[in-house]
Amino acid sequence: MFGEIRTGCAAALALARGNTGPVSALGDFWRSFRAAVVAFPLSLLMLAMVPHGFEMTGKLIAADIVGYICTWTAFPLIMVFVAERMLVFPRYWQFIVATNWANLLQSAVFTVVVLVNAAEFLPEPISAMLFMAAWFWILLFKWRLARHGLGIKHFPAVAIVLLDLALRLVIARATIWFGG
């Protein structure tokens, strides 16, 4: 399993750099959703660090689990239609597989940033800059992944990243609403 994780994440990073050589190492579409299983403990860890003012309840945990599943499934489902309309559907499969492994990397990066911020190792301004740098890296990574994974131009790749971000924000808001 660890070899598959390492290979999938490395292939996603390579694809974002424009290197399509390791794409064949990305593996099977359905198996790439194992990244969601691996990232799930990271999600629970971040949930355990809920901001002040939120009470950790069974309802919040259940809503977060449903939101987590929706986050991992909504984007691939919507991208079926987007990829068809953009005439890049043949590259859809490799893009979603790479995106799944990229989502695991995203979860790992944000978990580290949240833990560093929660431990108060850094002064508040530096901590905020670290969080912003993590967001910048993730958005740039996802943009490059869309460009090279789907073989599309700059602005359509931006639209795909914004679609992913908007879906995540809507699902997160619904999770808070249902869990609250």
Q: What is the mean pLDDT of the chain?
A: 90
Q: What is the pTM of this model?
A: 0.88
pLDDT for residue 50:
65
Q: Is the pLDDT of residue 26 over 70?
A: no
Question: Is the C-alpha dihedral spanning 156, 161, 166, 167 positive or negative?
Answer: positive
> Which is nearest to 95 in space by CA: 145, 139, 141?
145
pLDDT for residue 60:
82
Distance CA 7, CA 167 (A): 27
Distance CA 31, CA 21 (A): 20
Distance CA 162, CA 164 (A): 5
CB contact at 8 A, 104 and 13: no
> The domain containing residue 172 runs over which residues?
2-179
pLDDT tens digits for range 112-140: 998 998 888 889 899 899 999 999 999 99
pLDDT mean over 143-171? 96
Q: Is the pLDDT of residue 151 over 60?
A: yes
pLDDT for residue 23:
67
> Which is nearest to 178 in space by CA: 47, 59, 52, 69?
59
**Band of the pLDDT at 150, cuts 50, 70, 90?**
very high
The total domain count for the chain is 1
Q: Is the pLDDT of residue 107 over 80?
A: yes
**Band of the pLDDT at 142, cuts 50, 70, 90?**
very high
Q: Using the structure block, give the residue that is written with the tokens 């990229």.
A: 102
Distance CA 168, CA 170 (A): 6
Q: Is the pLDDT of residue 108 over 80?
A: yes
pLDDT tens digits for range 53-104: 667 778 888 888 999 999 999 999 999 999 999 999 999 999 999 999 999 9
pLDDT for residue 53:
62
Distance CA 117, CA 72 (A): 25
**Band of the pLDDT at 170, cuts 50, 70, 90?**
very high
Cα distances from 68 to residues 44, 47, 100, in angstroms, run 10, 11, 13
